[in-house]
Amino acid sequence: MGHGLTTQDSLLLVGKPAWHKLGNVIPESIPVEDAFQQTLPWEVEKVPLQAIVHGDDPQRMRVVDVPNHFATMRVPDDPDEECIPLGVVGKDYNLVQNARMAQVAKAAEDVGYRLETIGSVAQGRGVFFLLKVGEYGIAHRAYQGFASNSGDRIMQYLAIMDRRDGTRACSVHPTEIRVVCQNTETASFKRAEQKAMGLRIPHTGETEALLKVVETSIREGTISLEKTKEETQALVRRSVGREDAAKVFDSVAAHVWPKAFKDYTKKEMDAWTEQERVDFQRARANARSAFELWTEEFEHERQAAVSGTAFAALSAITHWADHSRKRVRDGVQDKLFGKGAEIKQVARAAALELVS
């Protein structure tokens, strides 16, 4: 994946240029509102989708409505500029305008964060605000792809980002990645998702209500970046073997398949119906299979930077919850608000018990 910056995109950076040398670099941070007006002064509209039938034959050509499907369109300030189609979404899709994202960024600015970058990628399909929170040191092995010897400093940011093509939710999350292009934007989102960090706001349901909750959380300090940093550092520093990792795995397995871990008396088991026996055996088999997958992931080479740590044990569960586990609900909803999010919370709590 490249930088994803087209001639229809804008990028503003504070202090230093990006690796691709594109965008407008300014020496000092400016207010969010000013940056927004300079960089993202356009809106998105949702318009009914239509299909052209027999488009190569003027006499037979027809325009047909596509029920319950809409195109998201970038609408420029300048009436002489063309609208740009961004994606196709359903009838329940709620738009989040750039101006609304700027309001969330302003809440972060009000508590002391300072704008670092702002821009769009892929003609406006992706939009991001990045605010600098501070920096900290980490004194333990390579961490999340950073070479982290004692005394190294890692920048900490708050990312506020959205995709207008219907591929994912809005996200407000802490990150150590300086978002300056499409690949860093994607990497920041995926890393936050894998670690169950920050908040996701789906484009269906109570989108605006959730945005207000995010703003309030930022202003009240309940989106605790400091706590996230300290917990993550502690998990990375805590060396664990299979036995300790198994404690995390046991906690999750007992949560997902409680019937497989309950101590039943012989009298209780004798009273089971045939279906109850089948359910019990299935739960035991699923738990054993998952345990093997978690152990394999705990020792996988993709975990090399944090191998043998409590963070690796947590990551094994997160990877399974997001990519391998069978889901009943929609994938994004499940990861953010459903069973997937629940599992990751249980895993994180169990991993933190190893460092307490």
Q: Are 49 and 71 in contact (CB under 8 A)?
A: yes
Q: Which residue has the higher pLDDT, 165 or 193?
A: 165
The amino acid at residue 38 is Q
Please choose, from the candidates 123, 122, 119, 194, the residue with its C-alpha nearest in 3D space to the C-alpha of residue 161: 119
Average pLDDT over residues 176-191: 89
Residue 122, pLDDT above cutoff 90: yes
Q: Is 195 left (phi over 0), alpha (psi -120 to 50) or beta?
A: alpha
Please choose, from the candidates 278, 240, 239, 249, the residue with its C-alpha nearest in 3D space to the C-alpha of residue 343: 249
Which tokens is 303 given?
A: 């975990």
Helices and strands (H, E) in the chain, number of each type: 12, 10
Average pLDDT over residues 266-272: 90
Q: How far is CA 120 from CA 42, 181, 321, in A?
A: 11, 8, 30
CA distance 45 to 83: 10
Please choose, from the candidates 17, 80, 91, 11, the residue with its C-alpha nearest in 3D space to the C-alpha of residue 47: 91
Q: Which of 88-92, 212-216, 278-282, 309-313 has the lowest mean pLDDT?
A: 212-216
Per-residue pLDDT, 236: 82
Give the pLDDT confidence of 19-53 residue by residue, as tens digits.
999 999 999 999 999 999 999 999 999 999 999 99
- Band the pLDDT of 81: cuts 50, 70, 90: confident
- Band the pLDDT of 123: cuts 50, 70, 90: very high
Residue 314, pLDDT above cutoff 80: yes
Q: How far is CA 306 from CA 5, 141, 233, in A?
A: 33, 7, 11
Per-residue pLDDT, 146: 40
CA distance 283 to 259: 7
Reported pTM: 0.61
